[in-house]
Amino acid sequence: MTPRARGWLAIAAIVVAGLVLSFVVQERYHHRVLTLVFLWAAMGLAWNIISGYAGQISFGHQVFFGIGAYVTVLLVVKTGLTPWIGMAVAVGVAILAAVLIGLPTFRLAGIYFGLATLAYPLIFRIVMDWLGYQEVAIPMKRDHPGWFMQFTEPRSFDLLALGVLAATLVLSRVIETSRLGYRLRAVKENEQAAEAMGVDAFRAKMTAYVLSAAPAAVVGAVYIHAILFIVTPEAVFGLLVISQTLVVSLVGGIGTLWGPLIGAAVMVPVSEVLDTTVGDRLPGIQGVVYGAALMLIMLYAPEGLFWRIQQTIRSRAGRRAAAVRPAITAPADELMASAPAGNVLLEVRDVSKAFIGLQALSEVSFDVHEREILGVIGPNGAGKTTLFNVLNGFLVPERGAVRFCGETVTGLRPNVLCQRGLGRTFQVPRTFPRLTVLENVMVGALVRAGLADARGVARDALTRVGMLDRADGLPGGLTTLELRLMELARCLATSPKLVLLDEPLAGLSTDGVDVMIAMIRRVRAGGITVVIIEHTMQALLRLADRLVVLDQGRRLAEGAPNDVTRNPAVIEAYLGKRWLARAGAPTC
Amino acid sequence: MAQVAELLQYVATGLLVGGVYALMSIGLALIFGVMRVVNFAQGDFMMLGMYLTYFYALSGIDPLLGAVLTIPPFFVLGWVVHRGLLARVTGGGDPQRQMDAQLILTLGLSLVITNAATMILTPTPRGIRTAYATQAFAAGPILLNQARSYAFVMALILAAAVYVFLTRTDAGRALRAAADDPEAASYQGIDVRAMHGLAFGTGIALVAAAGGLLATYYPIEPSVAGNFIVLMFVAVVLGGLGSIPGAFVGGLVIGLVQSLTLLVLPFQLQNTGVFIVFLLVLYLRPQGLFGRRARAV
């Protein structure tokens, strides 16, 4: 059986198990617990879409829960609309709210995002109070209880909640196995690397947010009808809702659909049992248990139960694989007789960029021709990486222009530039640590390929750099050379016209340097233009057709390696004035 | 003329309340500035400070003195919480994940404290009765509630003491060094973990004292934390996360905004003004009024 089929089968098994439970269970109270488990698992799964898959921890997700509850109940009260349709309206409102909240909020990163999300449910609480909806009870409809979601048979609520859970599980599974799922994981692991590999991080996050708002609204609507019967701002927008969501998700583990499921199955019965046994004497016991659970899980297994187990298994498998794999050797050289004098692919014109008090680049201009290997060299602090950050869109220059394939691309986002054929690697390799090597490369492949093809493209790219036997390991177990080769493969998987390689030789052994140089020559032989940053002249002399020398943000020299190394200004910048006198003297 | 006096009255009331907000926000900012921890449980320690001051008052200690007397026990409590909980999820790993872990840890702590307090102390609101709570100073047409005025002055004194501690003492300098660059500080022989303990202890002590001052005119109940933690977050973000002078000004501004919102909006919407300011600051100037701009790449 394929892993794909196994995943769906597991979901089916969960639903069947839920059905069996709801028919086995007899007592009213046990039905209530079952309903709660299903609903909180679904709420955890909804939260998990934005905070687990996309890694944007939201402390205000009860906004959508509350919207679901209020919209459905107010529609019944004011217009007599059945909650079955009201729920659909509520989902629409929640999606609209998600867009309105997400648009400004996703411009914030890290802790600012989390703090901002805190404010939205508080605002809703205040507004609901002010509108006079401090307490809205569901009106009794004795004539058509089913039509108004007012079942007398507690099993009906079990089944309804199970239906919501099943739908959310399917949604989660679809996301996990889709292009979006891979993109979200990449954004979560390293947003900048994801952007450089063609992922539109903002769009991916917005999509995830909308998809996580919808089931939260449905859960809110069902919760009101099954459990609360009366909506109050505190009950649906309050801290306890998000706490419970966080507890079920974090205890189980986030970023997987199993986490919230495990968390809800463990935590909800515990807190319900405590509430009924000692809740009368100790009214805050549920809160204490949730708080203690959050603290314990953060102290002892911050990844959650599911990941703890999986990681142990994976790292064991990784160690076994490491023992048998052969070293990577340099492939046969595919030298070209001479650099082809192709058309100009990339034009850099008078680019200037300043940081506070530092002119990192001033009026830098040069051209890159098709199928050449251009070396950019310069001492530390010369502005080399800043140049790359401008070229691939991380930074916008104050002045000057960059043209790629004849079009001005200054100010375009990195993901757009990647889609147009500009790839890059980083000085310190930026991996997606929790994705396998193959999945890392797949993120790059997804720029042009659908999910089905991406796997093949990624395998090809790994084969090209001699890394296919490492495909299933995690990047954490790779050597520096392997990391750099994986980054190169990820970059090649985007089918670039031009690659920017930021110090690909740094930290490599002599053998490693040989491998890397041969790989880069191969890349070029495959028709891809290469721009390399290095600060060691030696290596670039072997590799580059032409050199551009930067010093203190200015272009110092440009030309064939041999001419550049004889240039007095370059010698002075590299070695100081005293060397100039010696260099001038006839050698040998 | 009457309108001007009314406006001045609202400004004065806002500033008096803002002084206490400023003191509690300083505590939060100190903890964030030194440890990069967003402490969700800050409001709960404030609530505990209110209760301790209440119990002091029951045994005959004036709450203005009682507020100051909360400082030693809460410093110790903060130090213990840091050593026993936060220090164990600090160090190593992805800073973003570490921050999330610390935040969730303090959220858990907050839930435990609020609910345990509800169980033990009951949800019944309590108050401290003082002679000056119902009196007012008259400054021309403006009336200044005496309890709030005393609390304001005490808050200023404590804030000034923190400022002197941070700028004039060796421990304070070491604390700032640990905040700026923990690694470099540890190479200079500064025990960064001890500094974190000092910062957390001081931050908790300050918010407890602020709670004590607040207790002279605000009802004391276990659920009071929720109302204030958000105000503190807003003040700290407004001032630039981690900036102490920023948090002080942020606290004053929050008091003003709260008070002036009443001029245009009904009482229930008092805090919407605060949240609107909060979101505007986050969107337009996330580094806050005093903060340094974060690096782009």
Q: What is the pLDDT of residues B209-266, one digit of tens each?
A: 999 999 999 999 998 998 899 899 989 988 888 888 999 999 999 999 999 998 888 8
Tens digits of per-residue pLDDT, A85-113? 999 999 999 999 999 999 988 888 777 88
Residues of chain A with CATH 3.40.50.300: 344-421+496-584
pLDDT at B159: 94
pLDDT band at B142 (very low <50, low <70, confident <90, very high): confident
pLDDT band at B292 (very low <50, low <70, confident <90, very high): low
* Burial (CB count within 10 angstroms: exposed 0-12, middle 13-18, buried 19+), residue A298: buried
CATH superfamily of A344-421+496-584: P-loop containing nucleotide triphosphate hydrolases (3.40.50.300)
pLDDT band at B296 (very low <50, low <70, confident <90, very high): very low
- Written in H, E and C, the secondary structure of A502-519 is ECCCCCCCHHHHHHHHHH
pLDDT at A149: 85
**When comparing pLDDT for B145 and A342, which is higher?**
B145
CB contact under 8 A, B38 and A292: no
Tens digits of per-residue pLDDT, B185-218? 888 888 888 999 999 999 999 999 999 999 999 9
pLDDT at B247: 93
pLDDT at B155: 93
Has residue A73 got a pLDDT over 90? yes
- Among candidates B38, B118, B272 on the partner chain, residue whose Cβ is nearest the Cβ of A126: B272
pLDDT at A310: 81
CB contact under 8 A, A394 and B89: no
Q: Which of residues 546-575 of A touch B (CB under 8 A)?
A: none
Q: Which of residues 184-213 of A touch B (CB under 8 A)?
A: 192
CA distance A33 to A22: 10
> Rounded mean pLDDT of A415-421?
93
- Mean pLDDT of the residues in chain B: 89
Has residue B53 got a pLDDT over 70? yes
CA distances from B71 to A193, B32, B158, B165, B211 (A): 47, 19, 11, 15, 11
CA distance A124 to B233: 18
pLDDT at B52: 97
Has residue B92 got a pLDDT over 70? no
pLDDT at B67: 95
CA closest to B86 among chain A residues: A299
Percentage of chain B lying above the pLDDT 90 cut:
55
**What stretches of A224-343 show up as alpha helix (H) in DSSP?**
233-237, 239-252, 258-278, 285-300, 305-324
pLDDT band at B164 (very low <50, low <70, confident <90, very high): very high
Tens digits of per-residue pLDDT, A356-402? 778 888 899 999 999 999 999 888 778 888 999 999 899 999 999 99
Question: Contact, A394 vs A418, CB < 8 A?
Answer: no
Percentage of chain A lying above the pLDDT 70 cut:
94
Has residue A232 got a pLDDT over 70? yes
> Rounded mean pLDDT of A280-294?
86
pLDDT at A324: 55
> Rounded mean pLDDT of A436-444?
92
Question: Contact, A509 vs A329, CB < 8 A?
Answer: no
CB contact under 8 A, A283 and B116: no
pLDDT band at A70 (very low <50, low <70, confident <90, very high): very high
pLDDT band at A322 (very low <50, low <70, confident <90, very high): low
Calculate ∠ Cα A442-A444-A447, nearest 5°: 105
pLDDT at A336: 55
pLDDT at B267: 79
Has residue A470 got a pLDDT over 80? yes
Residue type present at position A289: V
- B157-189 exposure pattern, b = at least 16 Cβ within 10 A, e = fewer: ebbeebeeebeeeeebebbbbbbeebeebeeee
CA closest to B232 among chain A residues: A115
pLDDT at A510: 86
pLDDT at B266: 82
DSSP A63-75: HHHHHHHHHHHHH
Measured between beta carbons, the chain B residues lying within 8 angstroms of A290 are 108, 111
CA distance B245 to B247: 5
Tokens 């959650």 identify what position? A304
Q: For testing the chain B interface, which of A239, A275, A424 should be mutated: the one with the most B CBs within 10 Å?
A: A239
Tens digits of per-residue pLDDT, A529-581? 999 998 777 788 888 999 998 888 888 888 888 888 888 888 887 767 666 66
Percentage of chain A lying above the pLDDT 90 cut:
51
The half-sphere exposure of A69 on its side-chain side, counting CA atoms within 13 A, is 32
Measured between beta carbons, the chain B residues lying within 8 angstroms of A302 are 89, 97, 101
pLDDT at A202: 94
> Rounded mean pLDDT of B48-67?
95
pLDDT at B12: 92
CA closest to A56 among chain B residues: B100
**Least confident stretch, A68-72, A89-93, A281-285, B47-51:** A281-285
Has residue B109 got a pLDDT over 90? yes
pLDDT at B152: 94
Calculate ∠ Cα A340-A343-A347, nearest 5°: 120
pLDDT band at A340 (very low <50, low <70, confident <90, very high): low
CA distance A291 to chain B (A): 4
pLDDT at A588: 45
CA distance B38 to chain A (A): 8
CB contact under 8 A, B101 and A302: yes
DSSP A7-22: HHHHHHHHHHHHHHHH
The half-sphere exposure of B153 on its side-chain side, counting CA atoms within 13 A, is 8
pLDDT band at B93 (very low <50, low <70, confident <90, very high): low
